[in-house]
Amino acid sequence: GKVCKFLPSNNKISLTQGRIPHSRDSPIHARGIPSESKGYLEFEDVAETGNVDVRFPIRFTWQSFLVFANYFELKTSAVDEFKRERDAVAAGKRSNIDPFVFDIFKSIQLIEQYGEKLEQFAYLEATNTSSSLSIELSYVDAKNSSALYALAGRLDWCECENILKCPNGTATSGVGAKGMNDCVSTNEEVIHRISLIPPPPDEIAKPMSTGEGSIDTDSSRLVLKPFETGILTVDLSMLPNNITYNDHYRISIYDGCQPCPLRYKCNAGNGHQPKTCFNPPLERQYEFLNGCLKKNRKMVCLRDDGTHEDIQKCYSKTNNSSSARSSGSLLLFSEPDLEKCLSRPYFCSDTEWNYRTYRRLCQENSAISGETEIYDCSLVHRWNTYAHWKNNVCCSEISELRGFDSCRKNECLDDPRIEDIIRGKLINVFEREYGFIPPIRKPSGKLLMNATLQEALDHESPLDLFHEWREQFPESSKLMQEVKLHHPKKPHLSHPYKITSGCCNCKRHAIPTFFETNNPISSGYPDNKHGHVQITVTAIASIKLYVAVELLHGAYYLDFEKYFGSRDKSTLRIHAPQKFSEHSEHATWLTVLDKSAFEKRGLELPLNLPVGINEGGNKDIEDRFFVNIPRNKTIANHILAKENFLEVIDYDDDGRSWLPLPAIRDPIESIRLNEEWWGQKHDFIALPYIPFFSNCDGYDSHVFLGRLLEDHPDCLSVPLNKVESTNEFSFTRKEPYSDRCQDLILQCTYEEEIRGSSEKFRWFEASSGSNLFHITRDAVTIAAFVPSNEAEDWGRTMFLDKMRNSYDLIPVSIGDEMGGFLNAIPRVVELELKYYQISSGTKRLVEAAIYFHDLCTTQKQDYFGGSAKILDDMKERDILPCESDINGAIKSDNYELIIQYYPLGWFDLLNRFEFGGPVYFFFYTAIGLTICLIGGSVYGINRLLTKFRHPPPFQGWQLVALVSRPQIEGVILAVIPYMVVVSTIHTLFRHDGVLQFDSLHKNWMGSGSIGDDEEVENAMGRMGSAFLVLGSYITLKGSSSIIIGDETSKNDHVVAKRAHFIWASLCLQAMILCLLEFSYSDSYKNDIYRYVVMFKFGQIAFDVILSHVIRDKLLIAPLLVLIQMSEILVTIGARDFVEFTLSFLVKISLIVVQRLFIYPFIHTILTLLPRWNLLARHSFGRKALTRKEKKQREARWKKVNENIELQTEGVEPLVDSITIYSVEKTGGILLPFMCLFLMLLYRETEIAMNYNINQHELLYYGTFAFYMIIWTCIVDIFV
């Protein structure tokens, strides 16, 4: 027959090159030489003429050659011979299996298991070098040539009968292995897995099988809602010394999926090929599924017509008896639970499943033989499908039925001849369309009422007992007839109802660096895991985690099972924020980072941002949960330590206790991010933890606000039923009794490279006053945090986006006392959080700030090569070099994070405008009543002490109508056009206004594109120029309106008077600017009452000076109004709102004193000063006077006295009093409009900003000023 021989011209031989026929159905002579064998083999026909013989010889045993016709015969003979010799070895009749039989059998096993994939790792490649890995192949040719081929594929496919094998899950690296110690874990398969989630207290831990395909289905899962933290403490202290983490076992976290069963080996896959596994083969995976179907069954109840009945009705009918499972027309039996088994991860790749139903058995008695026939009930559906098809055929007038009356009323006639034609000529058409041959006769479909036969418990492959359908349907008889069976040859017609995810898609979640590294420490163990290891998992979505310890080395089966099998080596505690909002479950404060803030300040992104790795291996935003490894386990475990007496002290191998592990820093390249991390979708993110502060005791990289403020053992945690909240109507200085953390110290480690510089500012280099991030004012609910549509992501919802640039966010800024500097780090960082305890279960954040203390420079000393200039600059700031070692390097990267967290008292909250409007209304009213009491008291005293026999009646209301109404109307009429113009300028020239000047630079030398910051700066400059023009125009127009002259003639004195007035106005404005600058200082804030008094006397002095210089009450009135308004405005610079109101009371008191005593006293002095001057001249002048000089002196004396009488009597004193009153009143009326102006131009003027007052707070100041107008009018009635 045809035999083959290798051709020596080829340099590579694989397993499928030169293949032989598989069976007699595929002879070589019929198919020709296989395509993959051309060029590698020659076939020669050595058979006798006329006889076709394709047999091939092979050395079957050590002493015999056998000839086989195909692979199937070889396989059958080899398997039988191997089993025979193996049994003989077991019986002691043979010492070993024949090596040739062993090799052939193992080769057949590899071929059956891997098929053509075997050639990927088992092949021969030509070589010129002889080695232990090369073999020599001889060729049957004329020259009897040979060639060397090396084993270029993997060697672990080679087997010998008595070879020493490595334990499961391990292999040797390279050649020369001498013992089991040379076997190392491949990390390709898990050989044992035990859950670390403790079972419920009343549940007994069940041992898990370690066989191939075993699945842990009974263990608990870690189920967390957003903001919840699971704290898992694992005791590894008594684990045998030689079991090493990562070498022999590991801890894994699986998110929302089930890992592959034991001994599965997955490959990575790529973009074109799905993830699958090397082991086990697909046939074996189906075996595991069938094994699951055998073990897991569910009860069903059927009527005798095959329809379903309520299971409880069946139980009641059968009296819950397992022996009697049929009663009348009901049958109770079990069937394999396919849904349950499909939910288990038996398959490596994603698998599509058509809808399947468990087969039902029917029976009917044969009328011929009288015997009972049992058949599959699906024949009823098949017959109905066939009958419907046959009716269509009979009524379609096809040629095969021509001459027959085959159709009546759209149904095929029951004619045996027609049935024979259809069965003989057309049945192939039906089979091609529907995929099955219909039954010969119509079955009755009567259900077999035998539970044992229906269950088929002994069936080897329960999956084969299920019927496949093209689509899913409820198992009711009517709908079932409309659905077709699955067509094996037309799978595209079926619609899979379920796609099970392959277990190779279930990957371990990334865990912190602590588990990725394995640094031995001085404890004597080969790793740093022999102690209590704590894992915290904080959810940002609803998660269900499987946390397990996995064995990777088969040499430690017993030790692993003995230690972890009892499942008592771990404790679990779940923390959820409970004290931020009593109205929402698990609500908490969030920190908010804004992309624009980082770009504007040139600030480096935090190193503890939520970083995950996507499918492509690139950095992405983590969207499920955070895993942390706290160093100090007592912080999270203090409650368990109290309740369960949990020992959290670790010991070395000599029984000595050792301190917690030193800080392990994440690799900087894994946590450092650039601006691309934000992506294109969002430019902000809200986090449930504090950014920047990472690698801290008890929290690791993420210090969650909820856990820190509610769960730390060093904080005062007050039970909700004992909390004393702050009542906004309590008016008390008593502080509330609530949660607080005073001087709470966390030991943290800089993860930044503090010894070098950075392209951008790092958080500890930010200057004083810089905002690092924001915290939400009120607690955010889960619903507002998680996405509700595809356009949102966690922490980046529409609700959170609306909070930005609003007062719902509290800025966290660097304190003014000390900011950061380049080349310097703070050794102590203080975070201060002040809150308002609204009710027993609700808090509201009021203020937050960060303070740097104990700064030191990272520059080396000059004798170690440090920069002398930088060292001198730091010394001027009292910043000394950090403590260093003998080489000048910084000794430690550690710093202390101090937390100050406490509630504010009533007056502190009042100052920060945290109360509702009614509180401030009552407070304003109390201030108004107080000033009315002052005015009324003065009026009452004067009325009681008056010398008039008949005092004039009280004319207060007439006075208000006479004086206050014209002032209010005049101010409003004057302010309205001015505010309209101001608003128009603001609308036109702001950076996002109507008029855009995006391409214009602020100077002639500018070029290139304009950035956002420069655009805002340019807009502010244009707006300032417009206001300068407006102010100049109003000043000029006002001077011409007040000082009226004859425009037709040249009046030099009018022009001079106007110029004099404008010059006085400009000088006064310059002095007021100086006054404003001084009011920003701390000295002014710390002694505001003294300065209020000084400014009042200064105002009086200016009044006198201006009156003397200008000599016109009408001209000095607007200047005095400016002084008065500025004097009231600078009182906003008080340290807080209460101090502002008290200074207002002081000012009102001074006004009363001024009107009653100071101004009358000054007026009297100025009035009598000419008489005193004349008397002095008479006293110290010449005594001897002529008669004429005496007459002149007497005339001057008479004139002076007449002038004094005119100024002290008549209308002049009343005019002076109204002038003083009008000036003060106009300044008070203008103050609310001034506050409104500052709110509108908050960033442009920076006045309120320098007072540390935001726009929201300005509203309260303006409201107070507006409300005080009414009360000051009442005061004016009395005084």
Cα 1170 → chain centroid: 82
Residue 86 burial (C-beta neighbours within 10 Å; 0-12, 13-18, 19+): middle
* Residue type present at position 383: W
Does the structure show a pLDDT above 80 at 733?
A: no
CA 300, 302, 308: angle at the middle one, nearest 5? 85
Contact 351, 499 (CB under 8 A): yes
In the prediction, which pLDDT does 90 show? 80
Per-residue pLDDT at 1007: 67
* Whole-Å CA distances, 285 to 33, 168, 460, 503: 35, 19, 14, 11
Distances (CA, A) of 1245 to 453, 1003, 1024, 1122: 92, 22, 9, 18
Cβ-Cβ contacts under 8 Å for 315 (sequence gap 6 or more): 332
- Quick check: helix, strand or coil at residue 644? helix
Report the C-alpha gap between 682 and 595 in whole angstroms. 9
Whole-angstrom distance, CA of residue 915 vs CA of residue 229: 33
Looking at beta carbons, which pairs linking 457-461 to residues 24 or more positions away fall under 8 Å?
A: 457/294, 460/290, 461/286, 461/290
Hey, is 985 helix, strand or coil? helix
Nearest to residue 853, comparing CAs of 883, 879, 887, 835? 879
Confidence label for 919 from pLDDT (cuts 50, 70 and 90): very high
Answer for the pair 612, 510: CB distance below 8 angstroms, yes or no: yes
Q: Helix, strand, or coil here: 259?
A: coil
Separation between Cα atoms, residue 1116 and residue 1039, nearest integer Å: 11
Residue 52: its pLDDT value, please? Answer: 43
pLDDT tens for 569-591 read: 899 999 999 999 988 888 999 99
How high is the mean pLDDT of the chain? Answer: 83
C-alpha 1000/C-alpha 34 separation (Å) is 78
Is the pLDDT score of 26 beyond 50? no
Q: Cα(230)–Cα(575) distance, rounded to whole angstroms?
A: 6
The C-alpha R_g of the chain, in whole angstroms, comes to 48
Q: Within 13 Å and on the Cβ side, how many CA atoms surround 755?
A: 11
pLDDT of residue 1102: 85
Cα separations (Å) of 49 from 53, 67, 70, 468, 1038? 10, 20, 21, 52, 132
The label of the residue with tokens 């670390």 reads 196
CA distance 437 to 375: 15
Instruction: Give the number of C-alpha atoms closer than 13 A to the C-alpha of residue 736, restricted to the C-beta side.
Output: 32
Kindly tell me if the per-residue pLDDT of 462 is higher than 90.
Answer: yes
Q: Between β-strands 570-575 and 265-266, what pairing exists: parallel, antiparallel or unpaired?
A: unpaired
Contacts of 774 (CB under 8 A, 6+ apart): 591, 592, 594, 809, 810, 811, 812
More confident residue, 948 or 47: 948
239-259 pLDDT per residue, tens: 888 899 988 999 999 998 999
- Which of 273, 288, 150 minimizes the C-alpha distance to 213? 288
Write the burial class of residue 25 (CB in 10 Å: 0-12 exposed, 13-18 middle, 19+ buried).
Answer: exposed
Q: What is the mean pLDDT of residues 1230-1235?
A: 90
Comparing CA positions, the residue from 647, 658, 648 lying closest to residue 524 is 658
Averaged pLDDT, 651-675:
66
Q: What is the pLDDT of residue 68?
A: 79
What SS3 state is found at 689?
strand
The partner residues of 357 in beta bridges, in order of sequence, read: 467
Say which range, 65-79, 550-564, 703-717, has the weakest mean pLDDT: 65-79
Q: pLDDT for 199-220, tens place per residue?
A: 887 777 677 777 888 888 878 8
Q: What is the pLDDT of residue 23?
A: 54
The pLDDT score that the predictor gives to residue 444 is 85
Q: From CA 701, how far away is CA 609, in angstroms rounded?
A: 9
Tokens 């909390």, residue located = 723
Going from the C-alpha of 1135 to that of each of 1132, 1139, 1140, 1143, the distances in angstroms are 8, 7, 8, 11
Which of 34-48, 496-510, 827-841, 1154-1168 is predicted least confidently?
34-48
The CA distances from residue 73 to 67, 77, 817, in Å, are: 10, 6, 92
Distance CA(1057)–CA(663), nearest Å, equals 78
pLDDT of residue 321: 52
CB-CB contact of 784 with 583 (8 Å): no
User: How big is the CA angle at 826 (ends 821 and 827), to the nearest 5 degrees?
Assistant: 160
Token duo for residue 1016? 């805002």
Classify the phi-psi angles of 861: left when phi > 0, otherwise alpha if psi is within -120 to 50, otherwise beta: beta
pLDDT attached to residue 33: 47
Q: Which residues pair with 363 in a beta bridge?
A: 374
Is 80 exceeded by the pLDDT of residue 1066?
Answer: yes
Lowest mean pLDDT among 2-6, 274-278, 1067-1071, 1144-1148: 2-6
- Report the amino acid identity of residue 94: R
Six token digits for residue 6: 């290798």
Amino acid, res. 1244: E
CA distances from 548 to 136, 310, 646 (A): 50, 40, 21
Residue 407 DSSP SS3: strand
Mean pLDDT of all residues in 675-693: 89
Question: With contact defined as beta carbons under 8 Å apart, do 612 and 626 qualify?
Answer: no
Residue 705 clears pLDDT 90, i.e. is over it: yes
Query: What tokens does 990 get?
Result: 């702001």
- Position 468 scores a pLDDT of 92
Q: Cα(767)–Cα(832) distance, rounded to whole angstroms? A: 17
SS3 263: coil
pLDDT tens track for 1016-1065: 788 888 888 999 999 999 888 888 888 887 655 556 788 888 888 888 88
Angstrom distance (rounded) from CA 662 to CA 665: 9
- Residue 757, Cβ neighbours under 10 Å: how many? 10
| Mean pLDDT calculated for residue range 820-830 | 92
Measured distance CA(453)–CA(430) in Å, rounded: 31
**Share above pLDDT 70 across residues of the chain, in percent, rounded to a whole number:** 86
**CA-wise closest residue to 803 among 685, 920, 947:** 685
Q: Output the CA torsion sign for 161, 167, 168, 171.
A: negative
pLDDT of residue 818: 83
Question: Is-cis flag, bond preceding 259, omega within 30?
Answer: no
Quick one: what percent of the chain has pLDDT higher than 90? 28
Residues sharing a CB contact under 8 Å with residue 918, sequence separation 6 or more, in sequence order: none
Distance CA 873, CA 869 (A): 6
First to last CA, the chain: 136
- Paired with 298 in beta bridges are 335
Q: What's the angle, vertex CA 1144, arms to CA 922 and CA 1276, rounded to 5?
A: 85
Q: Dump pLDDT digits (tens) for 300-352.
A: 998 888 888 888 888 887 665 544 576 778 889 999 999 999 999 999 999 99
Q: What is the DSSP string of 436-450?
A: SPPPSS----PBP--
- Residue 263 pLDDT greater than 50, yes or no: yes
